[in-house]
Structure 1
Amino acid sequence: MANIVQFEDVGLRYPNSDGETLSGLHFTLVSGGFYFLTGASGAGKTSLLKLLYLAQRPTTGTIRLFGEDAGTLARVRLPGFRRRIGVVFQDFRLVPHLSVFDNIALPLRLSGVPEGDIDAPVREMLEWVGLSEKGQSTPPTLSGGEQQRVAIARAVIGRPEILVADEPTGNVDPDMAARLLHLFESLNRLGTTVVVATHDFHLLGRIQNAHMMRLEAGRLMDPTGALRNPPARPSA
């Protein structure tokens, strides 16, 4: 399968920070793969996801998305690239004055989908996430778990080529977590590359052939705990 993401010796240092948040990241994601990103709080998971959905540029190294160097993309091309990536944020980022229906429909409208082709997929998403009766509600009237489900529906409605989800099951009960994971799996079977950052180790065994990526202190480890692509030792 084709590579859809390539990180080549990528590092990230935020301004005024004492050290690198991420360093020496070297990995490839294949088109249609399913990946769990794990690690303790502060390990750098959210920062890595920000690099994936182009909210942050690396301090060092190269990131290639869809076969192109993301670091050299002209600003005018960034919106088009970002529309190919669905994102589920930890803080939801819903538009508070829009209805649930209109929040979910937003990616379709931004992509130019005719209004007559929007109703059916939005209602299907509302049913999928268990919010069929909440279409005309606004986000401030919803619980945290309901807002999370709206954010997930909005992220997946456009069938993005890559779905990036930051703790997507953190505010829902176990039954709904399983249902949402099934939604991600269904999207993955249609060809979407899925990356889920999670603390919930109960999820890790639920997706057949899923890959696990583990961060420790900003570096990527393999399942045995060894560094992936560790720095070369200085010669004697």
Structure 2
Amino acid sequence: MTSIVQFENVGLRYGTGAETLSDVSFSLARGSFYFLTGPSGAGKTSLLKLLYLSQRPSRGLIRLFGEDAVMLPRKRLPGLRRRIGVVFQDFRLVPHLSAFDNIALPLRIGGMEDKDIQAPVNEMLSWVGLGDRASARPATLSGGEQQRVAIARAVIGRPDLLVADEPTGNVDPDMAARLLHLFEGLNKLGTTIVVATHDIHLLSRIQNANMMRLDRGRLSDPTGALRYPPRPPEDGQNR
């Protein structure tokens, strides 16, 4: 399958300290589903920032959708970012907008007319269990409700790449399963998905999910070959 993300020997350093990420190399095929795991402080959020173009690397090559994201002029970055949906760990909802308008934001930025926005946003609100909270502003929503609005906003435009940082951390197990089902459905439509999580049990929820593990800023499986559930060994191999 076509690779839409390529990292080659990427390093990231904040200030003059030690590298947060070191020699990170991998590629993501179009339509693949990856879980990014690792202990706290391993660099998962930093890696996601590079993926959604919030941060530039200190060294190395990053290609997104065939473009050199490191050398690309800043004026062209918004065009790439519009192809990426992001679920932030701190939600980043617009405080003066309702739940409906927060979710509708990517569609409006993309130029969709208001008459065409109503139906898909209402459908998304219902899917995440917030059909009766469309007019609520973020300050009146619980943490779990804000998380669901953030997820709905990230997926509403069917992005080419979805990046999610602990997307199920503030919801109950039933809603977590429902949100993962939403991600899986989006993935089947062709979206490449990267979910950073501490919850190893999530890996069993998505069929044929791939796993990348960060440890002290390095990928322990840079090829992305690990899968969950593990592939059975071939005859003649050690079990």
State the TM-score bracket (shorter-chain normalisation): over 0.9
| CA displacement, residues 38-79 of structure 1 (integer Å, 9 cap, x when unaligned) | 000000000000000000001010000001110111111111
Q: Give the match for residue 134 of structure 2.
A: 135
Q: Give the match for residue 121 of structure 2.
A: 122
Q: Give the match for residue 11 of structure 1.
A: 11
Question: Per-residue deviation at 1:202?
Answer: 1.1
* Residues 148-163 of structure 1: pairs in structure 2 closer than 5 A: 148-163=147-162
The 1-side partners of 2:108 and 2:72 are apart by 24
Amino acid in the other structure paired with 1:6: Q
The 2-side partners of 1:121 and 1:77 are apart by 28
Question: Mind listing any 5+ residue stretches in structure 1 that lack a counterpart?
Answer: 225-236
Q: Give the match for residue 83 of structure 2.
A: 84
* Residues 1-236 of structure 1: pairs in structure 2 closer than 5 A: 1-17=1-17, 19-222=18-221
Question: Per-residue deviation at 1:201?
Answer: 1.0
The 2-side partners of 1:76 and 1:61 are apart by 21
Q: Give the match for residue 230 of structure 2.
A: none
Give me the TM-score of the superposition, normalised by structure 1.
Answer: 0.93
Q: Which aligned runs of 4 or more in structure 1 are off by greater than 2 angstroms?
A: none
The 1-side partners of 2:172 and 2:219 are apart by 30
Amino acid in the other structure paired with 1:183: L
Question: Secondary structure at 2:94's aligned position in 1?
Answer: coil
Amino acid in the other structure paired with 2:131: S
The 1-side partners of 2:208 and 2:197 are apart by 17
Amino acid in the other structure paired with 2:78: P
Question: Secondary structure at 1:72's aligned position in 2?
Answer: coil
Question: Secondary structure at 1:97's aligned position in 2?
Answer: coil
| CA displacement, residues 98-146 of structure 1 (integer Å, 9 cap, x when unaligned) | 1000000000001100111100010011011000000000000000000
Q: Give the match for residue 232 of structure 1.
A: none
Question: Per-residue deviation at 1:161?
Answer: 0.1
The 1-side partners of 2:62 and 2:16 are apart by 23
Question: Mind listing any 5+ residue stretches in structure 2 that lack a counterpart?
Answer: 228-239
Amino acid in the other structure paired with 1:111: G
Question: Secondary structure at 1:71's aligned position in 2?
Answer: coil
RMSD of aligned C-alpha atoms? 1.0
Question: Secondary structure at 1:94's aligned position in 2?
Answer: coil
Question: Per-residue deviation at 1:16?
Answer: 3.5
Amino acid in the other structure paired with 2:25: H
The 2-side partners of 1:84 and 1:68 are apart by 12
The 2-side partners of 1:53 and 1:6 are apart by 13
Question: Per-residue deviation at 1:169?
Answer: 0.2
The 1-side partners of 2:71 and 2:114 are apart by 35
The 2-side partners of 1:100 and 1:37 are apart by 28
The 2-side partners of 1:75 and 1:178 are apart by 38
